[in-house]
Structure 1
Amino acid sequence: MSMRVFSKTAPVTRAYIRYASTESATQKAGQAVSSATNAVKSQGLTKALCNLYKTVTSPLPASVKGPLNKTVGIFEPILYYSEVVYHLGKQVVVRQNFTLPGKADFAAAETQLFKVLEYVKVKNIKSIKDIPVEQWKNGAIKTFELSALFVVGEVVGRQNLIGYKD
């Protein structure tokens, strides 16, 4: 084996020179933000984030990408469905002309809630066993009525008895 002999001279260092760029940093940042915004508008937030993730993780080794992809794979459907719910809610708000409730609306809801609680309140009941059979029957009937209304609403919303129209 041969040994390499280094010279005792000082190492040559390169002088740091800042070269003038044609664009300023703020212009580059503005272009990056506008391209990201355009990507979100054209593809949707979920696809834009997935594409960003792919470009960021492309230089990583496979041993790091594997577990990272599994972790991110869990959040991708969550992001997608939250975006779907957001856009659907936005359409409902616009089409139904919903507005934010004011103080008067909250006060009216509070008084209605207390009226319902007073109506429901049963006196002299210390346990579930003390509730009369007649009230159990009334509760079961009301529960059945509400569930039937829910099912009818689902059928009307789908405009089909079973499943959705293709």
Structure 2
Amino acid sequence: MSMRVLSKATPVTRAYIRYASTESSGQQAINKATTAFNDLTSTVRSQGVTKSLCSLYQKATGPIPASIKAPLNKAVGVLEPVLYYSEVVYQLGRQVARGQNFTLPNKADFMAAETQLFKVLDFVKAQNLKSIKDIPLETWKNGAIKTFELSALFVIGETVGRGNLLGYKD
């Protein structure tokens, strides 16, 4: 055959082949996924989120070339402290919520807060204030005194809660 005929011929493609799947192979995949998930959750429970994510990252980036891995390592180096301290704050908040018997606000609490907010907005509308400069000096003084009182009460509450003036007891 001439080259002309070969170049105009349609390319040869591989025919689509469907492999038979069995019920047992699908069940095996589900079992593998379930065991992997259980291993991951047990690792997270024992090591914490940050350490388990870092170990997962090390396993996932093992075969990647160093030229691609270097920028990823820098990004992970930035994210690792953020993940760690967010986990610390979460765990501390969880302990405080359990210790103080905190509950989530219900619909009635949201409705009460909404009515208070609308009362404040109606008061501001009634005053016809166009800018901050229109607020009288006496109102600024009263606001500053109330802010100081609230911050002082907060500091006193923190001191009483700690049981020490400068820090937590060991």
For residues 66 and 144 of structure 1, the distance between their equivalents in structure 2, rounded to whole angstroms, comes to 50
Q: Answer yes or no: is 1:110 the counterpart of 2:114.
A: yes
Q: Which residue of 2 aligns with 1:146?
A: 150
Q: Which residue of 1 aligns with 2:84?
A: 80
Q: Which residue of 2 aligns with 1:12?
A: none
For residues 119 and 30 of structure 2, the distance between their equivalents in structure 1, rounded to whole angstroms, comes to 60
C-alpha spacing 1:164/1:95, structure 2 compared with 1 (3 Å): closer
C-alpha spacing 1:147/1:100, structure 2 compared with 1 (3 Å): closer
C-alpha spacing 1:154/1:93, structure 2 compared with 1 (3 Å): closer
How far off is 1:43 after superposition? 0.3
Q: Which residue of 2 aligns with 1:57?
A: 61
Deviations 1:69-124 (A, max 9, x none): 10111111221222222222322333333333333222222223334445667725
For residues 129 and 36 of structure 1, the distance between their equivalents in structure 2, rounded to whole angstroms, comes to 58
Comparing 100-109 with 62-71, greater Cα deviation is found at 100-109
How many residues were matched structurally? 145
Q: Which residue of 1 aligns with 2:39?
A: 35
Where do 5+ consecutive residues of structure 1 fail to align?
A: 1-20
Matched letter for residue 59 of structure 1: P
C-alpha spacing 1:36/1:67, structure 2 compared with 1 (3 Å): same
CA RMSD of aligned residues (A): 2.8
Q: Which residue of 2 aligns with 1:4?
A: none
Q: Answer yes or no: is 1:134 the counterpart of 2:121.
A: no
Deviations 1:114-164 (A, max 9, x none): 344456677254443333222222122112212222333333344433344
- Relative to the length of structure 1, the TM-score reads 0.70
For residues 58 and 30 of structure 2, the distance between their equivalents in structure 1, rounded to whole angstroms, comes to 25
Matched letter for residue 82 of structure 1: S
Comparing 57-66 with 124-133, greater Cα deviation is found at 124-133
Comparing 63-72 with 116-125, greater Cα deviation is found at 116-125
Comparing 106-115 with 133-142, greater Cα deviation is found at 106-115
- Relative to the length of structure 2, the TM-score reads 0.68
Where do 5+ consecutive residues of structure 2 fail to align?
A: 1-24
How far off is 1:25 after superposition? 3.0
Among all aligned residue pairs of Structure 1 and Structure 2, give the percentage whose two residues are the same amino acid. 69
C-alpha spacing 1:120/1:143, structure 2 compared with 1 (3 Å): farther
